[in-house]
Amino acid sequence: MSEHKTIDVAATQMLDRAKEIGFLTTFDRAKAQEPRCTFGNTGICCRICLQGPCRILPKKPGGNKGICGAADYTIVARNTVRYIAGGAAAHSDHGRHIAETLLHVAEGKLHDYKVTDPDKLVRVAKRIGVETEGRDVMAITKDVASAALAEFGRVDETQELTWINAYTDEKRLDLWRKTTIMPSGINLSLAQLLHQTHVGTDSDPVNIIFGGLKAALCDIDGQHLATDLSDILFGTGVPVVTEANLGAIKADKVNIALHGHNPLLSQMVVNAAKEMQDEAKAAGATGINLVGICCTGNEVLMREGVAIATNFATQELAVMTGAMDAMVVDVQCIMPSLRSAAECFHTKIVTTMPIMKIPGSYHFAFDEHNAINSAKEIIRLAIEAYKNRDASKVSIPEIKNTVVAGFSLESILNIFGKINPENPIRVLVDAIEAGEIKGIASLIGCNNLKGTHDQNHTAIAIELAKNDVFLLAGGCSAQAHALAGMMNGEAVKKYAGEGLKKFFARLNAAAGLTTELPLMFHTGSCVDYSRQQDLVNMLAKEMGVENHEVPYVVSAPEAMSEKAVAIGSWNVAYGNPTHVGVIAPTVGSQLVNDVVTKIAEDVFGGFFFWEPDALKASERLVEIIEERNWKNAM
C-alpha cells in the first residue's frame, strides 16, 4: 500500500474528519491488510476444494503441487478465470435485468418506463436482424428484448451469441471460432467455466484460459446489450455540463447519493425528484440535490447531468460530510462499511435489490411495476432524515470542478459529423493519418488501494495527452479525471500536446456546443465499454485494417473488481493491448503469465501488461501505439 492515501484534496479533508470522529475507513483497512500473503498475491493459493487451501511450496517434497496434483499453472489459471466468471455474471445479469424490464414495457405491463429513444431501438433492431419495416415500436421492442433474453438461456452449441456477432467483424469472429472461444449462451458458458475449473476437471492452463476468454466474450455481450437497452429505455447520452467532487453536496438541500450500477431505479429517483422539490422545501431545505457515486452515478451523469460526488475508494467519505441524507444503492462496488459510516451521522443507507442487502440498512424491495412510487418513498425517507441532520456535524469540502460528459458513441459521431457529415469516423482517421494524434487510449477501471487513490489515473492521462493521444474514459477512472478537474476544456489547454490541441480546436470550432470539449470523452459506466469497442471496430473498418492494427490501447491503472478482469480479458481477445496498474495474480506461474502477456499477442493481437509506475506505463502505452501496424497494413 502506498504511503499517500489519495491525491484528491476533498477526500484528504474528509479523511481528517474521519480520523477526528474515530471512523476507520477503507484506507485504514487497506493498511491493516499489510503485509499481504505472497501466495495469494501471486495466485498460487488454491481454495477450490475443501482439502485446501493448498499453496505452492517448491522447497518441500510434494509441496510443488496442490494435494490433488494441481501445478502452479493450473492453480493460477483457474483462479484467474474464476474472476472472469464473476465479472461476466455481474455485467450480464445487469443486462438481463434491463432486458426483462424492456420486455415488460413492450408487453404493456409497466407504466413508469417507456421507449425513450426509438431511433436507437431501430438501429439496434436492424443490427441484430430484427425486422423493422412497417412494424410498430412496441412490436420491435418486444423482439429486441426477447433477443437479448435469448442470449442467456441458449444451450444449442451450434448457435452463437447475437450481440457480439452483430457488432464484430467477420475476421475476428472467425478467430474466436477457431480458438473455440465463441460462446453460444451466457449462462451455459459461465456454468461450463465453473465446471471446467472444478477440482479434477481441467488442468491444462491454456485450455482453462480459453474457457476464461469465452466467458469474457459473454461479459462484452452482456455489456453491449445492457448499454443498448438502457439507451433505448432512458435515452442516449448527449454532452452535458455538470460538476464533480464532494463540493457538489449542498448544505441547504436534501442530498441523495445514487450509488451502484443499475439505472433502473436511479433513473426513477431522478424523475421523481423533479416533482418533489416542494416536499423538500416544506421540510426546510431549498430542494433536492442528487449526486452520483460509481457507475450508477455515471449512468445518471450521462443522461441527466447529475453531478459526481466521488468514486469507489472514497464512497464512505461522502457520508463523512454529515450532509448526506440518503444513499440509495443497487448492485456492485458498494462497500458494506457504508452502514457503519452512516451510524456516525443521520444518513440512511437504502438497499434496493433482492441480491444486495446490508445488515442494518433500510431495504426497499424495488418493484418495477411500482417504480416511481418506490422512488418517491425513498426520497421521502431522505427528506425525513434531513430533518434529523445535525448542522454542527456538517462539513462539506468546498471543492468541485466543471465536468463535460455524455459521450455516447452517437454523440461522439455527431460531433465528428459536424466536420464530415458523410463519414464521421473519417475525422478520427484523418487526424491519425496526418499525425495530429498518435492514436486513442481508453482509460478505464476502478480504484485499488494498493496504490495512491486516483494518482495513476490522472498521471497516465496527463502523459498520454501530452503525447497527442486522444482519450476516452469510463467507470471510476472517468470519475477520477472528473474529480481532479481534468474533464473540461481547460484541461485541454493545460495538458494536451500540440497535435491534440489542434484536433480539439477543429472539433470545438465545428461542434457548436456552448462549452469546449473536455480532455477525455466520458463514455459512461463500466457496463458501457462496448461504446469504445464499437468505435475501434469502426476505425478498423475505415482504415482498412484489422482490429489489432488500430493504434488503440486500454489502461486500467487501478483495476480491482472481477468485472475489471473480465473487461481486460475481452479487450485482449479483441486485439487491444491492455495495461493494468497492479501486478496481477498470474505472476505465480511463469507459464500463465507469459500466455496472457506474450503469447496472447500472437493469437489475438492483444495482450496484458502489468506496470504500477504511471510514467513507465505511459511510455510503454505510447510506444505500443506507435508500434501498431496500421501504416503497413493500410
Site of interaction with ligand SF4 (CB under 6 A): 46-49, 51-52, 54, 66-68, 70, 75, 199
Q: Minimum distance between the CB of residue 53 and ligand SF4, rounded to whole angstroms?
A: 6
Q: Minimum distance between the CB of residue 314 and ligand BF8, rounded to whole angstroms?
A: 11
| Sign of the alpha-carbon torsion through 605, 606, 608, 611 | positive
Instruction: Give the N- to C-terminal CA distance of the chain in Å, as an integer.
Output: 45
Q: Minimum distance between the CB of residue 86 and ligand SF4, rounded to whole angstroms?
A: 18
- CB nearer ligand BF8, residue 17 or residue 453: 453
| Sites for ligand BF8 among residues 492-531 (CB under 6 A) | 525-526
Q: Give me 148's grid cell.
A: 437479448
- CB nearer ligand SF4, residue 202 or residue 330: 202
Q: Minimum distance between the CB of residue 564 and ligand BF8, rounded to whole angstroms?
A: 6
Q: Give me 559's grid cell.
A: 483495476
- CB nearer ligand SF4, residue 63 or residue 336: 63
| Sites for ligand BF8 among residues 193-252 (CB under 6 A) | none
What pairing do the DSSP bridges indicate for beta strands 54-55 and 45-46? antiparallel
Q: Minimum distance between the CB of residue 310 and ligand BF8, rounded to whole angstroms?
A: 11
Q: Give me 483's grid cell.
A: 474529480
- CB nearer ligand BF8, residue 45 or residue 226: 226
| 552-556: strand order across its sheet | 520-524, 469-474, 439-443, 552-556, 577-580, 607-610
Complete DSSP assignment for 306-362: PEEEE-GGGHHHHHHTS---EEEE-SSS--TTHHHHHHTSSPEEEE-BTTB--TTSE
- CB nearer ligand BF8, residue 269 or residue 443: 443
Binding mask 446-485 for ligand BF8 (x = CB under 6 A): xx---------------------------xx---------
- CB nearer ligand BF8, residue 237 or residue 499: 237
The DSSP code for 528 is G
What pairing do the DSSP bridges indicate for beta strands 326-329 and 401-405? unpaired
What does the alpha-carbon distance between residue 538 and residue 432 come to, in Å, rounded to a whole number? 14
The DSSP code for 286 is S
270 binds, among ligand SF4, ligand BF8, none (CB under 5 to 8 A by kind): none
**Residue 277: how many CB atoms within 10 A of its CB?**
15
The DSSP code for 1 is -
Q: Minimum distance between the CB of residue 558 and ligand BF8, rounded to whole angstroms?
A: 8
H or E element in which residue 101 lies: helix 72-106
- CB nearer ligand SF4, residue 209 or residue 472: 209
What does the alpha-carbon distance between residue 444 and residue 555 come to, in Å, rounded to a whole number? 6
Q: Minimum distance between the CB of residue 108 and ligand BF8, rounded to whole angstroms?
A: 32
Q: Minimum distance between the CB of residue 311 and ligand BF8, rounded to whole angstroms?
A: 6
526 binds, among ligand SF4, ligand BF8, none (CB under 5 to 8 A by kind): ligand BF8
Residue given cell 501486478 in the structure block: 583
Q: Give me 235's grid cell.
A: 435515452
| Sites for ligand BF8 among residues 547-586 (CB under 6 A) | 560-561, 563-564
46 binds, among ligand SF4, ligand BF8, none (CB under 5 to 8 A by kind): ligand SF4
Which residue minimizes CB distance to ligand SF4? 66
What does the alpha-carbon distance between residue 326 and residue 89 come to, in Å, rounded to a whole number? 28
- CB nearer ligand BF8, residue 120 or residue 457: 457
Binding mask 303-322 for ligand BF8 (x = CB under 6 A): ---------x----------
Options 181, 333, 383, 461; binder of ligand BF8; rule CB under 6 A? 333
Residue given cell 505465480 in the structure block: 588
- CB nearer ligand BF8, residue 231 or residue 528: 528
- CB nearer ligand BF8, residue 212 or residue 551: 212
- CB nearer ligand BF8, residue 233 or residue 480: 480
Closest CA to 523 of 535, 513, 507: 535
| Sites for ligand BF8 among residues 250-269 (CB under 6 A) | 261
Q: Which stretch binds ligand BF8 (CB under 6 A): 10-18, 366-374, 443-451, 585-593?
A: 443-451
Grouping H, G, I as helix, E, B as strand and the rest as coil, residue 18 is helix
Size of the site for ligand BF8 (CB under 6 A): 16
Options 105, 294, 341, 431; binder of ligand BF8; rule CB under 6 A? 294
294 binds, among ligand SF4, ligand BF8, none (CB under 5 to 8 A by kind): ligand BF8
What does the alpha-carbon distance between residue 58 and residue 389 come to, in Å, rounded to a whole number? 59
- Give Cα 451 to chain centroid, integer Å: 19
615 near 590, Cβ under 8 Å?
no
561 binds, among ligand BF8, ligand SF4, none (CB under 5 to 8 A by kind): ligand BF8
Q: Minimum distance between the CB of residue 93 and ligand SF4, rounded to whole angstroms?
A: 27
What does the alpha-carbon distance between residue 121 and residue 132 come to, in Å, rounded to a whole number? 10
- CB nearer ligand BF8, residue 94 or residue 172: 94
Q: Minimum distance between the CB of residue 207 and ligand BF8, rounded to whole angstroms?
A: 28
The DSSP code for 50 is T
Decide: is 445 part of the binding site for ligand BF8 (CB under 6 A): yes
What does the alpha-carbon distance between residue 11 and residue 480 come to, in Å, rounded to a whole number? 12
What pairing do the DSSP bridges indicate for beta strands 254-260 and 326-329? parallel
What does the alpha-carbon distance between residue 471 and residue 483 come to, in Å, rounded to a whole number? 16
What does the alpha-carbon distance between residue 44 and residue 550 come to, in Å, rounded to a whole number? 35
Residues 6+ apart with CB under 8 A from 35: none
616 binds, among ligand SF4, ligand BF8, none (CB under 5 to 8 A by kind): none
Decide: is 324 part of the binding site for ligand BF8 (CB under 6 A): no
Decide: is 628 part of the binding site for ligand BF8 (CB under 6 A): no
Per DSSP, what are the bridge partners of residue 552?
Answer: 440
Q: Give me 386's grid cell.
A: 434531513
- CB nearer ligand BF8, residue 397 or residue 475: 475
The residue count of the chain comes to 634
- CB nearer ligand BF8, residue 141 or residue 314: 314
Residue given cell 499481504 in the structure block: 36
Query: What backbone torsions phi and psi does residue 39 show, to the nearest 5 degrees?
Result: -60, -50
182 binds, among ligand BF8, ligand SF4, none (CB under 5 to 8 A by kind): none
Q: Is residue 542 classed exposed, middle or buried when 0-12, 13-18 and 19+ CB atoms within 10 A define those classes?
A: middle
Q: Minimum distance between the CB of residue 211 and ligand SF4, rounded to whole angstroms?
A: 16
Q: Where do contacts with ligand BF8 occur on this chain (CB under 6 A)? A: 261, 294-295, 312, 333, 445-447, 475-476, 525-526, 560-561, 563-564
